[in-house]
Amino acid sequence: MLYLASKSPRRRELLGRLGLPFGVLDLDIPEQRAPGEPAEDYVRRVAREKAGAGLLKVVATPGALVLGADTEVILDDEVFGKPADAEDAARMLRRLSGRTHRVVSAVTLMSNQREVQAVSVSEVSFAALSEAQIAAYVATGEADGKAGAYGIQGRAEVFVTRLDGSFSGVMGLPLHETAALLAEFGLGPLAAARDGG
Which positions are catalytic?
Answer: 70
Q: Rounded to whole angstroms, how far apart are CA atoms 93 and 42? A: 22
Q: Look at phi and psi of residue 126 and say left if phi exceeds 0, alpha if psi is from -120 to 50, else beta.
A: beta
**Burial of 104 per CB tally in 10 Å (0-12, 13-18, 19+):** buried
Helix (H, G, I), strand (E, B) or coil at 195: coil
Q: Which residues lie across from 119 on neighbouring strands?
A: 106
- Taking a C-beta distance cutoff of 8 angstroms, is the pair 115, 50 a contact? no
Residue 6: CB atoms within 10 A of its CB come to: 25
- Taking a C-beta distance cutoff of 8 angstroms, is the pair 46, 144 a contact? no
Q: Rounded to whole angstroms, how far apart are CA atoms 159 and 22? A: 33
